[in-house]
Amino acid sequence: MSAPLEGTTVIDLSRALAGPHAGMMLGDMGARVIKVESPGSGDDTRGWGPPFVGPEDDPISTYFLSCNRNKESVTLDLKSDDGRDTLTRLVRHGDVLIENFRPGVLDRLGFSVERLHELNPRLVILSISGFGHDGPQGGRAGYDQIAQGEAGLMSLTGPSPDQPTRVGVPIGDLLAGMYGAYGVVAALHERNRTGRGRVVRTSLLAAIVGVHAFQGTRYTVAGEVGKAQGNHHPSITPYGLFECKDGMLQIACGSEGLWVKLATEFGIDPAGEGMATNRERVANREAVNAAVNAAFADRTLAELLTTLDEIGVPAGEVRTLDRVYEWDQTRSQGLVLDIDHPVLGSIEIPGPPIRFDDNAYAGGRSQHLAPPMLGQHNDSVRAWLDEQDGSEDGADDGGQG
């Protein structure tokens, strides 16, 4: 079977994380992604670390490896005539262009939206910014942690309202990349009807607000401002992190039936004062959680996980990342890829989170490409452009010549 986006060419002008993550998602689905980087330094993330791996005189950033699989790298100085000319050729033969420059930068380089669509009316353009492309603060630079704070996520995360906490990964960047890739696929589908591409816009601000979920309507409809309250759900009790004899575990009583099963098994009256309904339990959260902690105190993590599984109450431990990647369930889902890197040799990297049909490979490809070295594909991409230009010339003159 061919990959879903096979035959689609993506020109990725982005750097850091949001745009590169979107490009990687499209590459995972089979698109050819040509990553355009600055000569000499390349993508900013090539210098982000430690950790670095590989030769001491030319170390490789593991950060860069995380967001650039299934891409080819070419180096272009977009302020030079050759760089602009080569980008022009890429645009003419591309299907998608990704950029996350600050608003106005691409225009100043001579590649406004109007110019891009003049070169290629079918081009889908994904443009990612920090806080939006217009509005009173549309020109602000976007960095993930700043966006997490400005978009309210840090106020909902952490042990208490007095200790706002960033999420442990650059979630604003990652979400913007995901929403961007989602918009690109929709625009490509629309192009099948209209024959024309369009601009897809998103931002770190939009992406984070887009996942406020119940915390958003909690404010917009009910007028309540959500606040950080640690490792327990604000609207469901008991649902969160609890202590046991030799560690911690999480449980999720998302229905009254699950609460009754949990309480009955551990000697708690499910219909006791302040415990009969979820609404009562949320109001009485401290007492309910204390009762659960007391019931778990003399049992080991392994014992509790076995018992909770037997009675059908969702539960789990808190794994460190080494244990996640060693876990047979993680590997069974294709979430660890073995790839051949041109410098590092055989390495493992995290894999894409989507599988099609019963394919053992994650993503749409049967084989994944290692994140490229800087400029690794300069010659092959230019040769491809020459072939494309030659075939167009042949078509223009009826194939003669």
Distance CA 126, CA 222 (A): 35
**Taking the CA of residue 327 as centre, how many other CA atoms within 13 Å lie in the half-sphere pointing to its CB?**
14
Mean pLDDT score, 126-145: 93
pLDDT-based confidence at residue 165 (cuts at 50, 70, 90): very high
**Nearest in space to 74 (alpha carbons), one of 120, 39, 126, 116:** 39
**Nearest in space to 66 (alpha carbons), one of 370, 286, 303, 295:** 370
pLDDT of residue 401: 35
pLDDT in tens, 150-162: 999 999 999 999 9
Task: Say whether the peptide bond before residue 51 is cis (omega within 30 degrees of 0).
Answer: yes
Mean pLDDT score, 163-177: 97
E-strand stretches of 142-223? 199-203
Name the residues annotated as catalytic: 173
Which domains are delineated in the chain?
Answer: 9-211+328-394 (3.40.50.10540), 239-318 (3.30.1540.10)
pLDDT-based confidence at residue 360 (cuts at 50, 70, 90): low
Distance CA 100, CA 334 (A): 30
Q: 361 pLDDT exceeds 80?
A: no
